Structure 1
Amino acid sequence: MTVTVDRALTGDVLALPRRNPDGSVELLEHAVRESVAWEVPSGPARTRTVFAAAHVVPRVGAENVPGAPADLDWDATLAFRHRLWSLGLGVAEAMDTAQRGMGLDFAATTELVRRSAAEAAAVGGRIAAGVGTDQLDPGIHPVDVIRAAYEEQLQVVEDTGAQPILMASRHLAAAAAGPEEYLELYAGLLSQVRTPAVLHWLGDVFDPALAGYWGARDVAAATDVFVDLVHANAAKVDGVKVSLLDAEHEKELRRRLPAGVRLYTGDDFNYPELIEGDGQFHSDALLGIFAGIANVAAAGLVRLDAGDVTGFRAALDPTLPLARHVFGAPTPYYKAGIAFLNWLDGRQPGYAMVGGLHSARSAVHQAETFRLADEAGVLADPALAARRMRQFLAVHGIA
């Protein structure tokens, strides 16, 4: 089924605010469409390895305000992961989508990984989890201290049975004197992993504190360091997760990787063409947007497995305007769009985030999120989403 603007209408019409180029806001009518009966996979995709980076749900009534320890609704948080597994997607746990470094403290992270890994084992779901250094206080630390923080988290993740994802570290970006310190630290970590790990390169568009990662601000020079690291440790690297929002860079990088090392795209702007590939190389996926469009992503992968590339693109291409909006500047706040989409569709009781991050996007921005999600066929329950959208606008004084 191709998603088009000609889908049947529900009869429900909302007045949605839209910002004009001069900064003024006007209300425009939006006719809500019927839901799409997307294909449901019988298991994980066969031709691609795909993870959705999952968000977390705060407990209703908790003091999830800036600076407070995260207080999670475990039932809702874990139920969301079960939905991803039921759609054949792997779960990338405790990544930046789960608000690492933006509200999710280390104690909550540790509990999240342990609980999610146990649930994954119970249902045979695939899970990988982020290994970082965020138990350290902000600021400059010696590289040996940073290495020890990585090792502590690596043991936590591997003891649960989850696959480790070695995340980019703000502390390492601040402390490393050059490429050699990156290479030495990562080689030491990779020598310890029990199962091949995923290397995570998160660009500064997602986190400005990571500028100059791999010891160079020039992307080409940083890429050379990164590729050298992978080639020197290929047996311990399952894949690399690259989030630079640069499709051409990703295509070139995947050609330079050793045979058998996957490139998990983190490009939330260009994922359909990168996952499809060019006939010789393709990207697998580890994407935050897949936590917001899981039903469409799963259906697209069913089609790709069947050799229906046209059907795959017909499902995924209409989600690109939504993804580019959710991940628009300032990109670090994309998490608010992921949580908003899941609240609209009834997968969490309220639109709230740990650390008060739900305030990071405006009501006008989220109205556009709703419109684009509806047009792409993402909303599983458009009637519920429309009711919640009206409530949201009313709370924000937009009627």
Structure 2
Amino acid sequence: MIELPEYDGTLTAYQPRTAPRPLTPSGAPIRSRAVFSTAHVVADPLAANSPLLLGWEPFSPPALDWDATLAFRRHLWSHGFALAEALDTQNRALGLDWATSAELIRRSAAEAKAVGGRIGGGVWTDQLDPMRPHTVEEIVAAYEEQIEAVEDAGAELIIMASPALPAVAQGPDDYARVYQRLLGQAREKVILHWVLPESDPRLTGYWGYTEWDKALEAFLAVVDDNVDKIDGVKVWPLGRDQEIELRRRVPAGVHVYNGDITDFPELIAGDEQGHSDALASVFDPLAPIVAEGFRALDEGDTARFRAELESTLPLAQQLFEGNALTMRFFKTGFVFLAWLSGHQDHFRMVWGEQSARSVPHLSKVYRLADQLGLFPDPELAERRMRVVLATAGLD
């Protein structure tokens, strides 16, 4: 029995599981959907990883535990997921600079080749100085530098929306020209990744409009004009009805990648007019159970697929608890669960985010994960949870 703190300061007795749920990876890719998971990075716990201003002088660059970081990627590939590398789950621009991101993509792509895994790498413009405006040509050049690095590493391109563009683009035609240049030089099909201003206010006015309907039309015009170069699109955060509209309007053969934390079982299962695929950060901690669901879907068992994925919703929503600002610290729960699960030996993060969530929050994450049978070794998870409680004064 373990006593876990609640948000109101009380303690609740909880009896942890004594045996793990059998969740053996198949090693084969998921067939029924295109499914990407992001993957957190594992910090070097003894390095001088400085909180908040990593990558800025005079602070040192982030230091990673490369062995543990790559081992976690092998864990995801073993469950059949493709990997979306160097996005926000990997602390991109939130502790991880472009130089380290490029090295991460290079190492992960080499590992993917060795194990036969699929990998895409995030292309952005985060090597630009965020404290001054840049011309469209400078932004394109920054994109091109990263495109070359990602393609040379052997990864697919995931082109992310640049916060530098809205400051200088004069309208939808400027966006269309930028993306036509980028897509025109891509060696293979790419994923377009558009984050809405609800999540990143710097992207207000992306595609030339502040209104959703007009921005969507401009975005779809770029997709239509370059359809032979586009594997799929990811728009986040997107409501259920908006995503259904999007997937019914993209050209045939273009994937719509879901990444939400509320409706993903329904949207990925789909309806008589189609389904969503997935490029999701939340699959990082949920991988073994989510993979069980996709195996069921591979066999045509949609009911079991939905049951497995719906069982993870309380934990998914707990991990992303909070408002637009605080939910950015979802990675704290990811790393916490990886530590409890034995995927890494410590609970430290490159941006100091191990302290970004409260002990009651982490306690609920632990309880929900244990109830799901997510821990390969429940005894280890309980022992490490007790360390967290003791550190907080609950001996």
Work out whether the TM-score is over 0.5: yes
Contact 1:205–1:332 (CA under 8 A) maintained in structure 2: no
Q: Which residue of 1 aligns with 2:141?
A: 148
Counterpart-to-counterpart distance in 2, 1:192 and 1:332: 33
Matched, 1:65 2:58: no
Contact 1:275–1:284 (CA under 8 A) maintained in structure 2: yes
Counterpart-to-counterpart distance in 2, 1:277 and 1:193: 30
After superposition, the Cα gap between the structure-2 partners of 1:42 and 1:113, relative to the gap in structure 1 and judged at 3 Å, is closer
SS in structure 1 at match of 2:64: coil
Choose which of 92, 95, 98 in structure 2 pairs with 1:100: 92
Code of the aligned partner of 1:342: A
Choose which of 33, 36, 50 in structure 2 pairs with 1:48: 33
Q: Which residue of 1 aligns with 2:217?
A: 224
Contact 2:318–2:365 (CA under 8 A) maintained in structure 1: yes
Counterpart-to-counterpart distance in 2, 1:269 and 1:123: 32
Matched, 1:110 2:98: no
Q: Aligned Cα RMSD in Å?
A: 1.4
Counterpart-to-counterpart distance in 2, 1:271 and 1:161: 29
Q: Which residue of 1 aligns with 2:226?
A: 233
Q: Which residue of 1 aligns with 2:5?
A: 17
For structure 1, which segment, 290-299 or 60-69, has the greater mean C-alpha deviation from structure 2 after superposition? 60-69
Code of the aligned partner of 2:145: E
Counterpart-to-counterpart distance in 2, 1:398 and 1:78: 34
1:138 Cα deviation after fit: 1.0
Query: Matched residue pairs, number?
Result: 383
Counterpart-to-counterpart distance in 1, 2:143 and 2:184: 13
Q: Which residue of 2 aligns with 1:293?
A: 286
How do 1:324-335 residues align onto structure 2 when only pairs under 5 Å count? 324-329=317-322, 330-335=326-331
1:248 Cα deviation after fit: 1.2
1:39 Cα deviation after fit: 5.3
CA deviation profile, 1:62-114 (whole Å, cap 9, x unmatched): 11122231100000000000111111111111011101110001111111011
Detail structure 1 runs of 4+ shifted over 3 Å in the superposition.
none
TM-score by length of 2: 0.93
TM-score by length of 1: 0.93
Contact 1:345–1:379 (CA under 8 A) maintained in structure 2: yes
1:35 Cα deviation after fit: 2.2
How do 1:240-251 residues align onto structure 2 when only pairs under 5 Å count? 240-251=233-244
Contact 1:245–1:268 (CA under 8 A) maintained in structure 2: no
Contact 1:39–1:302 (CA under 8 A) maintained in structure 2: no
Counterpart-to-counterpart distance in 2, 1:282 and 1:213: 26
Counterpart-to-counterpart distance in 2, 1:167 and 1:241: 9
Contact 2:39–2:83 (CA under 8 A) maintained in structure 1: yes
SS in structure 1 at match of 2:312: helix
1:155 Cα deviation after fit: 0.4
Q: Which residue of 2 aligns with 1:10?
A: none
Q: Which residue of 2 aligns with 1:167?
A: 160
How do 1:1-399 residues align onto structure 2 when only pairs under 5 Å count? 13-19=1-7, 24-33=8-17, 34-38=19-23, 40-66=25-51, 67-68=53-54, 69-139=61-131, 140-329=133-322, 330-399=326-395
Code of the aligned partner of 2:91: Q
Contact 2:27–2:77 (CA under 8 A) maintained in structure 1: no
SS in structure 1 at match of 2:315: helix
Q: Indicate the percent of aligned positions where both proteins have the same amino acid.
A: 49
Counterpart-to-counterpart distance in 1, 2:24 and 2:274: 26
CA deviation profile, 1:216-263 (whole Å, cap 9, x unmatched): 222222211111111111000000112214111111100000000001
CA deviation profile, 1:246-302 (whole Å, cap 9, x unmatched): 111111100000000001111122211111111321111111011111101111110
1:25 Cα deviation after fit: 1.7
SS in structure 2 at match of 1:170: coil
Counterpart-to-counterpart distance in 1, 2:11 and 2:356: 22
Counterpart-to-counterpart distance in 2, 1:287 and 1:377: 21
For structure 1, which segment, 336-345 or 50-59, has the greater mean C-alpha deviation from structure 2 after superposition? 336-345
CA deviation profile, 1:124-175 (whole Å, cap 9, x unmatched): 1100010000111113211211111000000000011100000121222333
After superposition, the Cα gap between the structure-2 partners of 1:374 and 1:244, relative to the gap in structure 1 and judged at 3 Å, is same
